[in-house]
Amino acid sequence: MLYVFVEGHYDESFFSKVFFGNNTLFVQYAQMKEEKVNSYIKSVKRTPGYDYLFFGDEDGKTIQTAADDLLKKYSELEQSKLFIVQYEIESWYYAGVSENDCIKLKIKNYQYCTDSITKEKLIEKLTKPEDRQYVLARMLDCFSVSLAEDRNSSFKFFSKTRKEPAVAV
């Protein structure tokens, strides 16, 4: 059983559609107390046949600083299980969508490199910002892993790691 720790709903939607199948349980940790997250991780680590991955956003820091902050905050978290999304999960959504699909989805000002895309920058690209939830769902319908690997460096790192296990961060 694989547990995937994600910040919130949009992260869970992304990972469940793009990377993980039915044998995955998601834990949305952003609103949980540190002690509860640590307890959860500790429990998973102690259970035979269980494993976990943990995702956090870069949020304008360096990837290493974001990782260090999470490792300090969650004492049970192992560095090899931690992956940092550059910049925020919206950058990974956007990375896998072609320029033609962006036109169909009415996403303005196509930008090839998505490493610096934030939630706010993506919302600015929407013709109707109130359609954010709908657009994110449609992005997953036309998502290309290979395109996302070209457009976002942290996505590429995680995607390649999923194919060929390596040490994270």
d(CA 126, CA 108): 6
Share of the chain above pLDDT 90, in %: 91
> Residue 121: what pLDDT?
96
- For 41-103, the three-class secondary structure string (H helix, E strand, C coil) is HHHHHHCCCCEEEEEEECCCCCHHHHHHHHHHHCCCCCHHHEEEECCCHHHHHHHCCCHHHHH
| Sequence ranges of the domains in the chain | 2-87+152-163, 90-148
Strand-strand pairing, 24-28 and 51-57: unpaired
pTM, to two decimals:
0.92
109 touches 126 (CB < 8 A): no
Q: Can you list the residues of the chain whose pLDDT is less than 50?
A: 165-169
> Residue 167: what pLDDT?
37
Find, among 82, 67, 97, 94, the residue nearest to 161 by Cα: 82
> Residue 166: what pLDDT?
37
- For the segment 4-46, what is each residue's pLDDT rounded down to a tens digit? 999 999 999 999 999 997 789 999 999 999 999 999 999 999 9
pLDDT, mean over the chain: 94
Give, in order, the Cα–Cα distances in Å from 140 to each of 5, 55, 123, 148: 20, 19, 16, 12
Give the neighbor-by-neighbor strand order of the sheet with 82-85: 24-28, 2-6, 51-57, 82-85
> Residue 21: what pLDDT?
75
Q: Hey, what are 151's tokens?
A: 């457009």
